[in-house]
Structure 1
Amino acid sequence: MNTQETFDVVVIGGGPSGATAAHELAKQGHSVLLLDRGGRIKPCGGAIPPRLIQDFEIPDALLVAKARCARMIAPSSKHVDIPIDNGFVGMVNREAFDEWLRARAEHAGAVRRTGNFDRLSRDSDGVSVVHYHVREGKRGSESLPAQVRARSIIGADGARSGVARQGCVPGAERTRYVFAYHEIVRAPESAQRPADYDDARCDVYYQGRFSPDFYGWVFPHGDTLSVGTGSADKGFSLKSSVQRMRETSGLAEAETLRREGAPIPMKPLPRWDNGRDLVLAGDAAGVVAPASGEGIYYAMVGGQLAAEAVHALLLTGDVKSLQLARKRFMKLHGQVFWVLGILQWFWYSSEKRRERFVKICEDRDVQQLTFDSYMNKRLTRKKPMAHVRIFFKDLSHLLGLARV
């Protein structure tokens, strides 16, 4: 008889997707191990929409700022300020936000452990074994191996997921990535703030000098700011770009608190499960929105759907249940991802097109429909005539008929 510790589910990765999955499954009475490596903070603007706050019951105390305006800045430095009417976008610090999600999962009954995932194997009865190691001793100098059995596994260990490769998820090795980098800086004191500084505004730079194929950002985080960018161009220096952005925005002398970088997946994987006992969630599944780079909401939805799929597997034993996570996600958000992918491919491809893109953002119909879709996480259909007007305005920009 095998006396090794066995869990219904082992969730590998304690970011928003993994912590959400662990919380959902623990609430349903399953034995859950949440395995997370320590000291991990992902580079992230930290924006969460009202839909996330409502659906996942995020307390107001976790919001370090409430953005009420977005400034879109063109290559010419012309800008468009888009107010967030009757609402706000919440801003969180990932270190505190992720830890709160992990603690909530633990409170629901999940077992938390800190360790680095190594590999997967199978016992003689076919049950998966998760191998990991923990660091102990002075400055983590000692590596101690450990292992647990898992009736099912959720891989939420980020882009370039080791769980996906070890678990034999088809297509995981062919995923393409961009790289994101940001610096967390201390917000300047009132007397030292640049003339145009606004701690309730997100600045988005659509300029090739800050990213040849994405955008740069300066996002408020209360007493700190996130200044970052991303690109798939391996020859482009993200650190130099952030330094230029800090100089442009008057933050060159601000104290730097942290520097972080990480790969970001470019699109959802074609498959999220191994057809047996494993499903992916979050960045491991590739759910980062094109064009916007938004990931927290989609990661948490992906974790929730992965939990539903695993719950069905454990109840029925039907391995096809694992396919439900991707099917449901793509039904909910696949159209939005497709539209955003086209937007990024076309409008971010040159300085001339970026200039026209920001010009389009002056239009009130575009602003309202964009924020309706962002805040509620669906393509809004409330105003059909507004869509018609936007179509003809976009067409005039595409043909170069509109003045910039």
Structure 2
Amino acid sequence: MEYDVVVVGGGPSGATAAEDLARSGLTVALLDRAGRIKPCGGAVPPRMIADFHIPDSQIVAKIQTARMISPTGRHVDIPIENGFVGMVDREHFDEFLRTRAQEAGADRYAGTYTRIDRSGDRPEVVYRDKASGTETRLATKMIIGADGARSNVARDEVPGGDKIPYVIAYHEIIEAPLRTENYDPVRCDVIYDGAISPDFYGWIFPHGGQASVGMGSMVKSVDLKVATAALRETAGLTDCKTIRREGAPIPLKPLDRWDNGRDVVLAGDAAGVVAPSSGEGIYYAMVGGRVAATAVAAKLKTGRIKDLQLARKLFLREHGQVFRVLGAMQNAYYRSDERRERFVSLCHDIDVQKLTFEAYMNKKLVKARPLAHLKIGAKNLAHLSGLVSPLRT
């Protein structure tokens, strides 16, 4: 059988692309390394839940407050008004998405991608079958590479695809305690402390009866397991049972090119679509899968190679400005503990709180209150220039 599209990678991005393409009537194969669970805080915005029809059964917790913690231990509790931050467990959420793609008509294959063979009339995706261990082939017209950061498809097919910068993230899923002095099952804690991560942050995210505790860093000398143990000790979570430990790269910026000018388009982490500063990736991965599906479907219909560029263009048209703002914030505030202290101070501002979570829930910059933006800009400049103490808000 020859497929219209083979999707390599069955995470949120690949599963979304496979479902969309199958529902449009195309023949689709979804190839995934079965059994792998990506380390992830699991936060998802209400817009994602609505846009991608995620049932409430997949939301294991609804967060009402975000706590920002500074290097000196000061904290700011930010209430999430008129909404919530949803939490999913990737072990079950990703499989839900893959099953939904299969129910839409995609054929599922379990195995590990090895290469693309172009010796015949059509490209063939070659993979090692998980059950038999034998080399197997899927003939296809088009390929979507959704196989994560440090994507092998990107490395093989897309110029610059092997040069994506990334943070190594690590977390431990633990049995969550009942509410304690330091832990709240409806509050996310974000820890900005160079002792935990010198260039990113640590987190404690409730998942119902479980919690994700982790951190990330680009600094190779950082021992992620030691840093996470310190984070657990500070939060009083050392004695909680550890269910599993996971680590993986998280890309830091979108690639300059998402297609090979022929028959391959990248999606999700493979294309680098993780939000700077926050590291948020699930929503953007699913959007990336959707625009990749749009580009591939257009190319199959028209035969025009330039239609493959639609994936990157559509994504950046809607989310490029948000990524630029978040990238500038990360560059400004994550470079030292003194800057991180100032960032947490800035979070005391009510306008900052409201605009931040309105933007998070709706996935676009809020432009309705120009005076609030002007005020925030002035405070931001004052902190970055050192005109005010980091202990002031």
Which residue is equivalent to 1:227?
Answer: 213
Contact 2:151 2:162 in 1 (8 A): no
- Among 148, 152, 155, the alignment partner of 1:162 is 152
Which residue is equivalent to 1:19?
Answer: 15
Question: What are the within-5 Å matches in structure 2 for residues 85-124 of structure 1?
Answer: 85-124=81-120
Which residue is equivalent to 1:53?
Answer: 49
Q: What's the offset of the Cα at 1:175?
A: 1.4
CA–CA separation in structure 2 for the residues paired with 1:398 and 1:177:
25
Q: What's the offset of the Cα at 1:401?
A: 2.7
Question: What are the within-5 Å matches in structure 2 for residues 187-226 of structure 1?
Answer: 187-188=176-177, 190=178, 193-226=179-212
Does residue 378 in structure 1 map to residue 326 in structure 2? Answer: no
Question: What are the within-5 Å matches in structure 2 for residues 11-90 of structure 1?
Answer: 11-90=7-86
TM-score, structure 2 as length reference: 0.98
Deviations 1:123-143 (Å, cap 9, x if unpaired)?
A: 432x1111011133xxxxx51
Secondary structure of 2:133's aligned partner: strand
Does residue 149 in structure 1 map to residue 149 in structure 2? Answer: no
- Among 300, 315, 325, the alignment partner of 2:311 is 325
Q: What's the offset of the Cα at 1:34?
A: 0.4
Which residue is equivalent to 1:135?
Answer: 130
Q: What's the offset of the Cα at 1:186?
A: 0.4
CA–CA separation in structure 2 for the residues paired with 1:49 and 1:236:
30
Secondary structure of 1:195's aligned partner: coil
Cα-Cα RMSD:
0.9
Deviations 1:99-146 (Å, cap 9, x if unpaired)?
A: 010011011100011111111011432x1111011133xxxxx51111
Q: Structure 2 counterpart of 1:163, which letter?
A: V
Does residue 344 in structure 1 map to residue 330 in structure 2? Answer: yes
Number of residues of Structure 1 aligned to a counterpart in Structure 2: 390
CA–CA separation in structure 2 for the residues paired with 1:310 and 1:22:
11
Secondary structure of 1:172's aligned partner: coil
Does residue 298 in structure 1 map to residue 284 in structure 2? Answer: yes
Does residue 177 in structure 1 map to residue 163 in structure 2? Answer: no
CA–CA separation in structure 2 for the residues paired with 1:162 and 1:335:
28
Secondary structure of 1:166's aligned partner: helix
Which residue is equivalent to 1:139?
Answer: none
Deviations 1:212-263 (Å, cap 9, x if unpaired)?
A: 0000000000000000100000001111000000000010010000000001
List gaps (5 residues or longer) in structure 2: none
Q: What's the offset of the Cα at 1:335?
A: 1.1
Q: What's the offset of the Cα at 1:194?
A: 3.0
CA–CA separation in structure 1 for the residues paired with 2:120 and 2:86:
49
CA–CA separation in structure 1 for the residues paired with 2:301 and 2:106:
18
CA–CA separation in structure 1 for the residues paired with 2:167 and 2:62:
28
CA–CA separation in structure 1 for the residues paired with 2:372 and 2:225:
40
CA–CA separation in structure 2 for the residues paired with 1:215 and 1:279:
31
Q: What's the offset of the Cα at 1:285?
A: 0.3
CA–CA separation in structure 2 for the residues paired with 1:348 and 1:196:
24
Q: Structure 2 counterpart of 1:53, which letter?
A: I
Contact 2:33 2:130 in 1 (8 A): no
Which residue is equivalent to 1:186?
Answer: 175
Does residue 242 in structure 1 map to residue 237 in structure 2? Answer: no
CA–CA separation in structure 2 for the residues paired with 1:174 and 1:71:
34
CA–CA separation in structure 2 for the residues paired with 1:247 and 1:165:
39
- Among 304, 311, 333, the alignment partner of 2:297 is 311
TM-score, structure 1 as length reference: 0.95
CA–CA separation in structure 1 for the residues paired with 2:275 and 2:118:
35
Q: Structure 2 counterpart of 1:187, which letter?
A: A
